[in-house]
Chain A
Amino acid sequence: MRRRDFLKTMGIAAGASTIPFLKFMPAEAAGRDGTLVVVTGNGPNSMDIQRKGTNRPSYQIAVNLYDRLVGYSTKKLENGTLMYDYTSLEPEAAESWTIAPDGKSITFKMRKGATFWDGTPITAQDVKWSFDRAVSLGGFPTVQMKAGSLEKPEQFEAVDDETFVIKLLRPSKLTLPDLGVPVPIIFNSTLAKKNATADDPWATEYLHRTPAGGGAFMLERWDPGQQTVYKRFDGWKNGTLPGVERVIIRQVPSASTRRALLERGDADVSLDLPPKDFAELSASGKFSISGVPIENSMTAIGLNLNFEPFANKLVRQAIAYSVPYDQIFKQAAFERGIPMWGGKSKTPATIEWPQPFPYDTDYDKAKDLLKEAGYANGFDVPLSFNLGLAQWSEPMSLLLQESLGKVGVNVTIDKIPGANWRTAALVEKKLPMHIKNFGGWLNYPDYYSFWVYEKGRLFNSMNYDNPKVQELTNATLHMEVDNPEYAPKIKELIGIFFDDVPLIPVYQPYLDVAMQKDVTGYKYYAHRQLDCRLFTKVTS
């Protein structure tokens, strides 16, 4: 029978073009035991996260098909959801690591017996080649490596097959966690080099379509724009073998269809639904809905200091007092998040980030502040949002427009297409008032500040400039959290954000995933893509 033959002859990580002709997925897929069906709005556009132009859904390939040196350990939230524990790392391809007494290098010991899918052992040379690649290719991978002070190939050394050393440019709390993000994956360098050419020494064309790794899953099929199918790599040594044998990820662009598929039981996991659907599915009680606050991220209103009224702190505070927080949270976000308003004190009590800002909807206070600033009659301002995020940004903008009108600020709404958003908001920084949702992979307030509050940084679309913020951010960015100087400095920093409010946080959004009740093991990561390695499906 042909489908049986397929199982036998199925090679390693066959690309879509080499799929043998057979009519059905192997038998167990039909029965769906051990097969997880995921429906999502968007799919990967490359199998290589380090390629130029790779989209966000492709990060899942790096997570599921490749290993990193280290991974994050898991903690359990109050609602039972698993979440990565950023503060504690666990071994993945590296069995152990030690930081040199002088703090200038980290030595990793590779796990013995771990192999790539084709049986080649995973060695320190593979790590060296892969890291060299990440810092040499340019673009996103290089920028992300740099965040962990990993900047040039000379920093990486394969001492022998089992020993890999990173020489540190500076001691930084960001280096080790940065090795757990999706970028620094370990390629099968022997296989990759075989497929490299003189023009393409890093085998970008080959790895773009054909993954070459040793992760928990192998690629069974990739039909771009339609589906990605993973098959478990049974020889995986770098962690606990996944609970499902096969994962089928289908791209279904319409959110309504994705919801119907879940409700009919044809899909096990449904991603990217609008907040309203998650709220309703959650109320129905028939599905597990996992809503995890997205770390180091908030939905906020940016006020551009180059726009004259906003240069005045009193005006910014007035705006912060006229935001209809509660309405936005209920009607635009459907309560799928954590409120970031109504903080008790103007000085932060903890170094938690994000934390509620000390503002609430208070039109009288706003009017007084506007009068004091000399804008008793209000002013006109355009409010921009990214059309790609219209689902929640549009109702949010309309609510803002209505309530700012009550204090005399006349808002016109300006919708910006996704392709132009980055240029207008982040590069030219020309939007007077806009809706932001930046999130940082590395979860520290100083890291957020580095990207969003520091002068000239890409995500500082507010043109905010405060030398004190600069000074505090630079002092804390690489500092260990347990350093006694860290907490006071961070509190001072957050206090400045409270008072200056170039950015008015509204809520910290949830990352929502809807699952059938028999699916367990979902774990949230900052990169917001599914880690299929932890899923199990209980069959009754």
Chain B
Amino acid sequence: MDGNDKLKMILGRLLQAIPSIIGIVIVTFVLTRALPGDPAVYFAGPAADEKSIQEIRVSLGLDKSWPEQFWIYITDLATGNLGVSVSTGLPVAEELTRRLPASLELTFLALLFSLAVALPLGVAAATRPNTWVDQLCRVVVTAGVSLPVFFTGLFMVYLFYYILGVAPPPLGRLDIIFLSPPPITNFYTIDALLDGDFETFGAALAQLILPAITLGIFTLAPLARMTRAAMLQVLSSDFIRTARASGLRRSTVLYVYAFRNALLPILTTLGMVFSFMLGSNVLVEKVFAWPGIGSFAIEALIVSDYAAVQGFVLAMAILYVLLNLTIDIAYTLIDPRVGLDG
């Protein structure tokens, strides 16, 4: 498959995603409105009278029929306007461009940590099944999933910030004395580097470490387990036996032949874990005052903030499509037998 073909395939895949995105737009529109609770009443404030509730309803466009509201939503969407979040008072697009990078930055680092621990652990456990390494892997993994995230988070804050005082205050993306770097990507670490400002880079990274580890510990389990299982399966297959019989070096057998073949299921798990982490790290966000997308979505949902919920779901859907595509492309790089159309 040459480059041109690949590009065509990618475009094809993106086109295929359009119907599902349209479906998601319709479903979220209907679902948000089917939720109990009346946003006009909520946002009018506790002391409001019937008249002011009605005024709010009109200003939110909620006095119109569903099809009319939907048409307005679609035409706005076509111009890139995601509407205004009533609870935060800002355009949803602005909220997303600020909060999504915060969540992504945290999730990427958490995944990196998770991979750095889970892959070696899984491989080691698979090559020496039922030894102490395997048991260690089992213990770490079990502990990782069984400790609730808010518990790990609070424990980390208690130990490293409160008792030892080595971690910076859990005050979100930057400590009080720093100001955010000039926004280019909105990833604070990257922006600080682009700006050549290593002090802010260090500060941003320091803020990231505890929440990233907290989040990472939770995702160790699926990754380590999947690595172990995939490696075990590959190691017991015929071509490994042949490789060993041919007298290839142990490391060559393990890393060049076995690991590469075990990567496919690991990558699949990785994709799932990633998208799961992105939306579900609300508790980590709360403990570390992280201005991420998870808490934004939950709060919007609680107060029936339609535009915010719709914008969040849409952003996640698009992200998921892109993520799947990236993983599929990665498959073809790892294993030439896999085609994009497969």
Whole-angstrom distance between the alpha carbons of A254 and B296 in the complex? 14
User: Contact partner of B86 among A53, A139, A144, A261, CB < 8 A?
Assistant: A53
Report yes or no: A23 in contact with B179, Cβ–Cβ below 8 A.
yes
Residues of B within 8 Å of A21, CB to CB, are 181-182, 195
- Quick check: is B73 within 8 A (CB to CB) of the other chain? no
Taking CB atoms, residues of chain B closer than 8 Å to A264 are 161-162, 165, 169
A 198-227 binary contact with B (CB < 8 Å = 1; else 0)? 000000000010000000000000011111
Q: Which residues does chain A contribute within 8 Å of B279, judged by CB atoms?
A: none
Q: Which residue of B lies closest to A56 (CB)?
A: B45
* Given A23-B200, A225-B88, A419 contacting B52 (CB threshold 8 A): no
Chain B residues, Cβ within 8 Å of A489: none
Q: Are B51 and A138 in contact (CB under 8 A)?
A: yes
Q: Binary interface profile of A, 1-33, with partner B (CB < 8 Å = 1, else 0)?
A: 000000000000000000101111100011000
- Residues of A contacting B171 in the complex (Cβ-Cβ under 8 angstroms): 39, 250, 252, 261, 266
Within 8 A of A (CB), among B186-203: 195, 197, 199-200
Q: How large is the interface on A (under 10, 10 to 19, 20 to 34, 35 or more residues)?
A: 35 or more
CA distance A55 to B43 in the complex (A): 8
Q: Is the CB of A420 within 8 A of B37?
A: yes
Given the contacts A29-B176, A55-B87, A260-B158, A254 and B286 also touching, CB distance less than 8 Å = yes
Q: Interface digits, B28-68 against A, CB 8 Å rule (1 contact, 0 not)?
A: 00000000111101111111110110011001000000000
- B291 contacts A225, CB within 8 Å? yes
Q: Which residue of chain A has the shortest Cβ distance to B37 in the bound complex?
A: A419
B49→A458 contact, CB < 8 A: yes
Pick from A248, A257, A451 the residue with the most CB of B within 10 Å. A257
The reply to whether B172 and A226 contact each other, CB–CB distance below 8 Å, is yes
Q: A122-145 toward B: CB 8 Å interface, digit per residue (1/0)?
A: 000000000000000011101110
> Does A417 sit within 8 A of B, measured CB to CB?
yes
**Complex CA–CA separation, A253 to B158 (angstroms):** 16
User: Which residues of the partner chain B approach A458 to less than 8 Å between Cβ atoms?
Assistant: 46-49
| Alpha-carbon gap, A140 to B49, bound state (A) | 9
**A contact residues around B95 at 8 Å (CB):** 224-225
- Closest Cβ of chain B to A260, distance in Å, is 5
CA distance A39 to B99 in the complex (A): 20
Q: Does B288 contact A (CB under 8 A)?
A: yes
What are the residues of chain B within 8 A of A30 when measuring CB–CB? 177
Give chain A nearest CB distance to B98 CB in angstroms. Answer: 8
Q: How far is the CB of B218 from chain A (nearest CB, A)?
A: 17
Residue of B at shortest CB range from A250? B171
Tell whether A51 pairs with B89 under 8 Å between CB atoms, given A140-B44, A257-B287: yes
A352 to chain B, nearest CB (A): 24
Please give the number of chain B residues whose Cβ is less than 8 angstroms from any Cβ of chain A in the complex. Answer: 58
Which partner residue on chain A sits nearest B36 by CB separation? A420
Q: Hey, what's the 0/1 contact readout for A427-471 against B, CB within 8 Å counting as 1?
A: 100000000000000000000000100000011000000000000
B46:A422 contact, CB within 8 angstroms: yes
Bits for A161-197, please: 1 = Cβ < 8 Å to B, else 0. 0000000000000000000000000000000000000
Determine whether the beta carbon of B179 is less than 8 Å from that of A422: no
Q: Is the CB of B55 within 8 A of A138?
A: yes
Which residue on A lies nearest to B51, using beta carbons?
A138
Contact across chains for A250 and B289 when beta carbons are under 8 A apart? yes
Cβ contact within 8 Å between A19 and B169: no
Interface status of B303 (Cβ within 8 A of chain A): yes
User: Whole-angstrom distance between the alpha carbons of A533 and B179 in the complex?
Assistant: 24
CB within 8 Å: A-B pair count: 153
Task: Report yes or no: A143 in contact with B47, Cβ–Cβ below 8 A.
Answer: yes
Instruction: Say if the beta carbon of B90 comes within 8 Å of chain A.
Output: yes
Which residues 501-537 of A sit at the B interface, judged by CB distance below 8 A?
Answer: none
Interface of B is mostly: loop
Asked if residues A422 and B41 are in contact (CB atoms below 8 Å), the reply is yes
Could you tell me if B87 and A139 are in contact, using CB atoms closer than 8 angstroms?
no
Q: CA–CA, A224 to B94, complex, Å?
A: 11
Pick from B87, B170, B176, B291: contact of A260, CB under 8 Å:
B170
How many Å lie between the Cα of A55 and that of B42 in the bound state? 10
Q: Does B272 contact A (CB under 8 A)?
A: no
Q: Which residues from chain A contact B170 at a C-beta distance below 8 Å?
A: 252, 257, 260-261
- Which residues of A from 261 to 280 have beta carbons under 8 Å from B? 261, 263-264, 266-267
Is A37 at the interface (CB under 8 A from chain B)?
A: yes
Chain A: CB-nearest residue to B55? A138
Does any Cβ of A come within 8 Å of B328's Cβ? Answer: no
Report the Cα distance A263→B163, complex, angstroms: 11
| Residue interface mask B301-334, A partner, CB < 8 A = 1 | 0111000000000000000000000000000000
State whether B287 touches A419 (Cβ < 8 A): no
Interface contact B47-A423, CB-CB below 8 Å: no
B301 to chain A: closest residue by CB? A419
Q: Bound state CA distance, A139 and B50, in angstroms? A: 9
Tell me if B105 is interfacial: C-beta within 8 Å of chain A: no
Task: Say which residue of B173, B177, B288 sits within 8 Å of A29 (CB atoms).
Answer: B177
Set of chain B residues within 8 Å of A254, measured between Cβ atoms: 154, 286-289
Write the chain B residue with the least CB distance to A55. Answer: B87
Residues of B within 8 A of A25 (CB): 176-179
Q: Kindly state whether residue B157 has any CB partner on chain A within 8 Å.
A: yes
- Tell me how far the C-beta of A40 lies from the nearest C-beta in chain B, rounded to whole angstroms: 11
Collect the chain B residues with CB atoms within 8 Å of residue A115's CB.
Answer: none
Is A75 an interface residue when CB atoms closer than 8 A count as contact?
A: no
CA distance A423 to B303 in the complex (A): 12
Residues of A within 8 A of B51 (CB): 138
Q: Does B295 contact A (CB under 8 A)?
A: yes
State whether A253 touches B289 (Cβ < 8 A).
yes
Q: Contact between B47 and A144 (Cβ–Cβ < 8 Å)? A: yes
Does A355 lie at the interface of the complex (its beta carbon under 8 Å from any beta carbon of B)? no
Q: A140-B45, A251-B289 are in contact. Are A45 and B87 (CB under 8 A)?
A: yes
Contact with A along B267-307 (1 / 0, CB 8 A): 00000000000000000011111010001100000111000
Q: Is A256 located at the chain interface by the 8 A CB criterion? A: yes
Residue numbers in B under 8 Å from A227 (CB-CB)? 172
A53–B178 CB distance below 8 A:
no
Contact B41 A423 (CB under 8 A): yes
Bound together, the chains give a CA A257 to CA B38 distance in angstroms of 32
Please tell me which one of the listed residues B169, B200, B291 contacts residue A226 in the complex, with CB atoms under 8 A apart: B291
Question: Inside 8 A of A417's CB, which chain B residues have their CB?
Answer: 37, 302
Residue in B46, B88, B289 whose beta carbon sits within 8 Å of that of A426 in the complex: B46
Query: Which B residues are in CB contact (< 8 Å) with A422?
Result: 41-42, 46
- Nearest Cβ in chain B — how far from A346, in angstroms? 32
A4 to chain B, nearest CB (A): 14
Instruction: Tell me, in angstroms, the Cα distance from A53 to B291 when the chains sit together.
Output: 21
Is there an interface contact between B36 and A224, defined as CB atoms closer than 8 Å?
no
Which residues of B lie under 8 Å from residue A418 when comparing CB positions?
A: 302-303
Contact with A along B62-95 (1 / 0, CB 8 A): 0000000000000000000000001111100001
6 intermolecular pairs with C-beta atoms under 8 Å apart: A224-B89, A226-B172, A250-B172, A254-B287, A257-B288, A418-B303
Contacts A39-B171, A257-B157, A264-B165 aside, 8 further interface pairs with beta carbons under 8 A come to: A139-B52, A139-B55, A143-B47, A225-B296, A252-B172, A253-B289, A254-B287, A260-B162
Rank and list the top 7 A-B pairs by shortest CB-CB distance, nearest first: A419-B37, A53-B43, A139-B52, A252-B289, A45-B89, A266-B169, A21-B182
Binding site for A on B (CB under 8 A): 36-39, 41-49, 51-52, 55-56, 59, 86-90, 95, 99, 154, 157-158, 161-162, 165, 169-173, 176-182, 195, 197, 199-200, 285-289, 291, 295-296, 302-304
- Which A residues are within 8 Å of any B CB, using their own CB? 19, 21-25, 29-30, 37, 39, 45-46, 51-55, 138-140, 142-144, 208, 223-227, 248, 250-254, 256-257, 260-261, 263-264, 266-267, 417-420, 422-423, 426-427, 451, 458-459
